[in-house]
Amino acid sequence: MANSWGNLLQNEQQLEELAQQAVDRALAEGVLLRTSQEPSSSDVVCYAPFTLFPSLVPSDLLEQAYAVQMDFNLLVDAVSQNAAFLEQTLSRNCSVSSSSTIKRDDFTARLFDIHKQVLKEGIAQTVFLGLNRSDYMFQRNADGSPALKQIEINTISASFGGLASRTPAVHRHVLSVLSKTKEAAKILSNNPSKGLALGIAKAWELYGSANALVLLIAQEKERNIFDQRAIENELLTRNIHVIRRTFEDVSEKGSLAQDRKLFVDGQEIAVVYFRDGYVPSQYSQQNWEARLLLERSCAVKCPDIATQLAGTKKVQQELSRVGVLEVLLPGQPEAVARLRATFAGLYSLDMGEEGDQAITEALAAPSRFVLKPQREGGGNNLYGEEMVQALEQLKDSEERASYILMEKIEPEPFGNCLLRPRSPVRVVQCISELGIFGVYVRQGKTLVMNKHVGHLLRTKAIEHADGGVAAGVAVLDNPYPV
């Protein structure tokens, strides 16, 4: 894909002036983060990093990503309801009985323990809500053409729907300043925060208590609060009120009634929306107890614990095995074909012949693979020499079962400017990652909503192997369909 902005990236003075206009427009549009110095206060804010120009994305791949999102929604929901599949996948016993993801990954094991306890007691909630985001990169084929390949699916705290709703106006402005009004009109409208709020509102409505609230589980230090507020504000237009509380607040002020209704500060909770709780560092013993309390309630959890487990890397790897999709989505060959077309190569590292073979191949050609632990939030994957060192250490250890190996996606780099506070404005070689937001609501066994609700494009310099916007590596972007 040639870069159609190439001729605009030559003049340094023009770039500086354009960048200043873009930053001012981003601030005016609310493309904001709290500062790293004061992550708990909105007294001083900065703009969220973004690209000066929208990045070119093949329109057929964008359409493909949108088309398969409802299939991914169905798949995540099917996995979350299949307790036997989750147990078999996460606690698989191979030739060595102690080799499995939950035996070797304490965080996943704690989540799985809650899942088992809730199953044993009987699941109290009857309405299920999924707000997920499936992420892709554009693999460069041998003939130079790009192909859509899934990186991962995020089933908990899928972020930047709010800020992605505000960035199209910034890029339209940049192109209009350059008198490229025809090009500006090609930037797609995008409002994931409205769609995500629609899912929460439907779950709230089906819960069926007019005075009940939505509880957003928030982090104490939250730089990305404006992204979350966008969804809260959408809910408020429907007269649905949101309270923000931490796990600690739930532990101290949360309780279950006899009918397992959840109360926090004496107020009934209809929906629990997690924007915390996806990495081990976010849990103390008190927080684990709070999470269990929430899971035992009949409030709609987004996600419930089974759906969070459905988003693990180990499940992703297992889904790529021959015949697994057909079992989970019986009688849906078209959906299976669409899903499978997006899968990159995924390999188990469980103890045994299959895992040994994968490690041998990765050590022989490290540039072709990525090593992934069972973690969300970006910045956890290992590449190149780091991956080789890790595999050398892990290859004879049962701990390797807590990782998966994935084929490395190699997109075609392009030039763009990444605008960050207090960083020089310069053109760098970049690659992008496309996310599609999906929403589904199920009541009992009946799916009452299944839709895609918008996209997120993130772009980073090619020198960074891993990491998203929250990790300080990628920046917000918009697709320019070509």
Active site residue 445: no
Task: Tell me which of 244, 458, 468, 478 is the catalytic residue.
Answer: 458
Residue 359, in any domain of the structure:
yes
Residue 28, in any domain of the structure:
yes
Task: Tell me which of 133, 229, 245, 460 is the catalytic residue.
Answer: 133
Q: In this predicted structure, what is the pLDDT of residue 8?
A: 67
Residue 29, in any domain of the structure:
yes
pLDDT digit string, tens, across residues 267-290: 999 999 999 999 999 999 999 999
Task: Tell me which of 376, 450, 454, 468 is the catalytic residue.
Answer: 376
β-pairing verdict for 427-443 and 127-140: antiparallel
Task: Tell me which of 80, 132, 152, 442 is the catalytic residue.
Answer: 152
pLDDT digit string, tens, across residues 118-141: 999 999 999 999 999 999 999 998
Task: Tell me which of 3, 159, 165, 381 is the catalytic residue.
Answer: 159
Task: Tell me which of 3, 73, 132, 154 is the catalytic residue.
Answer: 154
* Element of type H or E holding 86: helix 83-90
Count how many domains the chain has.
Answer: 1
Q: b or e along 281-313 (b: 16 or more beta carbons within 10 Å of the residue's beta carbon)?
A: ebbeeebbebbbbbbbbbbbbbbbbbbbbbbbb
Residue 216, in any domain of the structure:
yes
Active site residue 152: yes
pLDDT band for 1, please (50, 70, 90 cuts).
very low
Active site residue 423: no
Residue 146, in any domain of the structure:
yes
Active site residue 133: yes
Kindly tell me if the per-residue pLDDT of 469 is higher than 90. Answer: no
Range of the domain at 383: 6-481
Task: Tell me which of 34, 301, 313, 442 is the catalytic residue.
Answer: 313
Residue 164, in any domain of the structure:
yes
Kindly tell me if the per-residue pLDDT of 97 is higher than 50. Answer: no
Q: Give the rounded distance of the alpha carbon of 129 from its chain centre.
A: 15
Mean of per-residue pLDDT scores for the chain? 91
Task: Tell me which of 377, 378, 415, 467 is the catalytic residue.
Answer: 377
Residue 1, in any domain of the structure:
no
Active site residue 376: yes
Active site residue 289: no
pLDDT digit string, tens, across residues 348-402: 888 888 888 888 888 888 888 888 876 665 667 888 888 888 888 887 887 787 7
382 secondary structure, DSSP code: B
Active site residue 385: no
Active site residue 29: no
Active site residue 334: no
pTM for the model stands at 0.92
**Cα(236)–Cα(199) distance, integer angstroms:** 14
Give the position of tokens 């929403």: 439
